[in-house]
Amino acid sequence: MINRLATGRVLAIAATCLFASFASAASGQVGGAAPAPVQAPAASANNGAPAIGSTPALAPGQPGRAAVLSSAPRPLSGVTNYGTAADVRPAVTHASLWPLVYAQQAGPELNEQEECVAIAIYHEARGEPLDGQLAVAEVIMNRAASGRYPASWCAVVKQPWQFSFVNPRTGRMPGVNRASASWSYAVALTRIAVGNLADALPSDVLWYHADYVAPSWGRRLAKVDKIGAHIFYRAS
């Protein structure tokens, strides 16, 4: 009899816990921070910027302003002092770029070359800080202008064995979710990069890799900056 009562109590407690877990899951509070309902970001102490990795919707027609440049030092082209001073920061930050990204959501359709840049941002850096996404675009453009890589942005992106999301044998790129906020960010940041409206990296930065890998070629280059999960390099 005691065993039956105990069993009944255990089952009742388990049912209560299961209901509580289900209720918490429905409210998005189980297993860490779940994605919040998609909505336009509200102003905050972070210049209205969304949290890194979040994807609030971009409301059309919202007035914007130019990116606020950081007062922190940045490397001059051809000069690297990484490791001998405080971490070098780029000219813009995630928060300071947000108003410009917000303003650049609307604009003319991207052409074929610009579309390649936006697709690369989407697959290489979505969820990264906005300055990190801009930096990926600038590496592509820097390569095309360097004379060391193909001369067009699409050719740079599709060059075999350079960008992991591209099929190295066919140059085919996977699709994107064009209804997502991540794609809206990528398009806006492409417009910013093409229009030279803000600058994340010097023009001689041609390489980067994720911070969870350590390719041998990185040891032959000069580290310039780490933005989000990516480490950026120039020739040493």
pLDDT in tens, 215-227: 999 999 999 989 9
Q: Which residue has the higher pLDDT, 116 or 41?
A: 116
**pLDDT given at position 92:** 83
Whether pLDDT at 127 is above 50: yes
- Residue 97's pLDDT band, with cuts at 50, 70 and 90, is very high
Residues found in the chain:
236
Whether pLDDT at 149 is above 80: yes
**pLDDT given at position 236:** 87
Whether pLDDT at 67 is above 80: no
Average pLDDT over residues 188-202: 93
**pLDDT given at position 51:** 53
Q: Does residue 94 come out as left (phi exceeding 0), alpha (psi in the -120 to 50 range) or beta?
A: alpha
**Weakest mean pLDDT among 24-38, 59-73, 124-138, 216-230:** 24-38
Whether pLDDT at 77 is above 90: no
Rounded percentage of the chain residues whose pLDDT exceeds 70: 61
**pLDDT given at position 83:** 43
Q: Which residue has the higher pLDDT, 73 or 65?
A: 73
Beta-carbon contacts of residue 67 (< 8 Å; ≥ 6 apart): 92, 96, 97, 99, 100, 192, 197, 198
**pLDDT given at position 95:** 87
Angle among Cα 160, 165, 167 to the nearest 5 degrees reads: 45
**pLDDT given at position 90:** 55
